[in-house]
Chains A and B, each alone.
Chain A
Amino acid sequence: MGLTYKSTGLSVNTNKLEIIKESENDYVVAVAGNPNVGKSTIFNALTGMNQHTGNWPGKTVTNAQGKYSYKNKNFILVDIPGTYSIMANSVEEEIARDFICFGNPDLVLVVVDATCLERNLNLVLQILEVTPNVVVCVNLLDEAKKKKIEINLDILSSHLGVPVVGTSARSGIGLQELKDEIFISTMQNFEGETLNIQYDNIIEASISKLLPYVNEIVKNKISPRWASIKLLDIDDTLNESISNYIGYNLLDNKNIVNSLHEIDNDFKNSNINKDNIRDILVEKIIEKSELIYNSCVSLENKNYNSKDRKLDKILTSKLTGIPIMILLLILIFWITITGANYPSELLSNGLFFIQDKLIEVFNNIGFPKWVTDLLVMGIYRTLAWVVAVMLPPMAIFFPLFTLLEDSGYLPRIAFNMDKFFKKACAHGKQALTMCMDCKILQNVNDIKYYFPNAITFVFVSHHVIADVIAPTSAIPLTTAFHIQLISVTILKNILITILLHKLLFYFFSNNYFVFPDKRSCNFL
């Protein structure tokens, strides 16, 4: 953390679970929430960093961290992957769960989507079972207002037993209050009562059986109630995480194992088994979410989604969906290509003017011809050509693409195209399509991550062919010249490859695209 963060997303530290506090005055705040609720926007707004935000879920893959100061205290924010649950059904959820449960955050900031509160409460309630040090941030209040969804934050707060702050992070509303609340909540040790989900009698009875033994072992490290509930529905990874964290395997404890046997017998009598225990637990949480939702949200207009629905009908219907998509994409490419011509010409004129000047300078200095050829005709000219041809279209295409992304049209494309994608690449992970938000969009992401690599590859391979094969086959050459040509070409292409890739990478990462995973850099 001693490094100065540049305002690029690339400098975001992505180490898992390694939060280094600089001093006692540093507080670690985990930013959790469902996918696509604006966690990264809030993260950026608070830290002043420029991590890429995007209107698609699953954008943050690993824990990214940033820092800000408020009233002489330092807050280290950890942007954890968006999840619907912390029951660890996927890698992201495991990362999220491990950080919330075992990462020792001083506070968990749960960001929820005001337009979709009921679904979001599921995660809030799950996190409240783990820790009482929670602040809930109801984001996208502006969107909710547009849809005439009224949320009573005070009632929500009293139900949950933790502070609730409303924000519209994109327009900066509520961020000051949020900072205040984070400050107050981290300074004071939590004393109040948070909400405990009341399960069915038989589950509660089994929790009470385990609680005293678990309490003795876990002490204050994790919530004993949560650990007891998890023991009823234990899996290997969770048990390993808990064991690593508290330094003791709960399943090694005789009392606990005996109680679990007893509980198993009780469960058998009431038809509860390993397969449906999770259902029973989740059903209660969802029931509670529904209850809280109904008590604090009022819809002025029951059909608040009708406008969106009508638009969706047009954008995704059998008759108009695909034609509109194709037209839109053609329009974007047309704007890109036509719009890029003018600046391209300007750039190439300017850059080739410099090339002529460079040749003059090199000749005046008296460099041998092959040095001039290598440096100016080879490296400079190719680079100039790349910049002139590629930069303008990229500078036009990517903002347009970002517009599409922000408008939320990309999930609709995914929805329209899913069947084709499925045919094209049906692998195991895609077997279960969760929602239009999440699965297919990964393909769109992939394209963006690999775009610089792909351009570089195509370009370089084209050039190797043009430089080596074309001249050698066209003109009869002496062997000496042949070797010289090939070595110069190889050197040139290596240099161009490095430069081009760095350039593209820099452009992508600083403007519209940040590679969430540094491994993507390993191109050369």
Chain B
Amino acid sequence: MSNKHLSLNKLPIGKRGTVSTLLFQGNCRRRMLDLGLVKGTKVEAVQKSPSGDPIAYAIRGAIIALRNEDASKIIIEY
């Protein structure tokens, strides 16, 4: 695994990455934290929706769909 940083929405389906930075502020940031998205959390891209947005991710045992506009604010190491 190379240490490439990219935004979560660019993570290829079926691949796993580790959260390094959240670019959210305020309420959105809190919501992400509540879902268990903190630094070091492993995230796997599971499935694209028919239009490619949102994308479903496996986060701490739960499948969560994030819109690309939100996923792009999550920087991961992959």
Contact = CB atoms under 8 A, between A and B. Distances in A.
Contact of A312 (B22, B41, B47, B60): B47
A278 B70 contact: no
Interface string A254-288: 00000000000000000000010011001100100
A446 to B, nearest CB: 19
A84 B49 contact: no
A433 B50 contact: no
Contacts of A119: 35-36, 59-62
Interface stretch (A6-14, A174-182, A412-420, A479-487): A412-420
A395 interface: no
Contacts of B49: 316, 321, 415-416, 418-419
A437 to B, nearest CB: 8
| Residues of B in contact with A, size category | 35 or more
A278 B61 contact: no
**SS class of chain A's interface: helix, strand, loop or mixed?**
helix
A415 B61 contact: no
Contacts of A309: 46-47
A164 interface: no
Contacts of B29: 278-279
Given A318-B50, A322-B50, A432-B31, A286 B65 contact: no
A286 B34 CA distance: 9
Given A116-B62, A436-B65, A278 B47 contact: no
Contacts of B28: 432
B30 A278 contact: yes
A253 to B, nearest CB: 27
Select the residue from B39, B53, B59, B61 with max chain A CB neighbours within 10 A: B61
| Residues of A in contact with B, size category | 35 or more
Given A119-B60, A309-B46, A321-B49, A84 B54 contact: no
A318 B58 CA distance: 19
A316 B35 contact: no
B64 A436 contact: yes
A87 B67 CA distance: 23
A436 B50 CA distance: 14
B66 interface: yes
A201 to B, nearest CB: 19
Contact of B34 (A87, A117, A275, A318): A87
A89 B35 CA distance: 12
Contacts of B70: 432-433
Given A312-B46, A435-B65, 20 more contacts: A89-B31, A118-B36, A119-B59, A279-B29, A279-B38, A286-B36, A289-B36, A305-B63, A309-B46, A312-B63, A317-B50, A416-B49, A418-B53, A418-B67, A419-B53, A432-B31, A434-B31, A435-B64, A436-B64, A437-B64
22 contacts: A84-B34, A84-B35, A116-B62, A118-B61, A275-B25, A279-B22, A283-B39, A286-B38, A286-B41, A289-B36, A290-B60, A305-B63, A309-B46, A313-B47, A316-B50, A316-B56, A321-B49, A321-B50, A418-B67, A433-B66, A433-B67, A434-B31
Interface of B: 22, 25, 27-31, 33-36, 38-39, 41, 46-54, 56, 58-67, 70
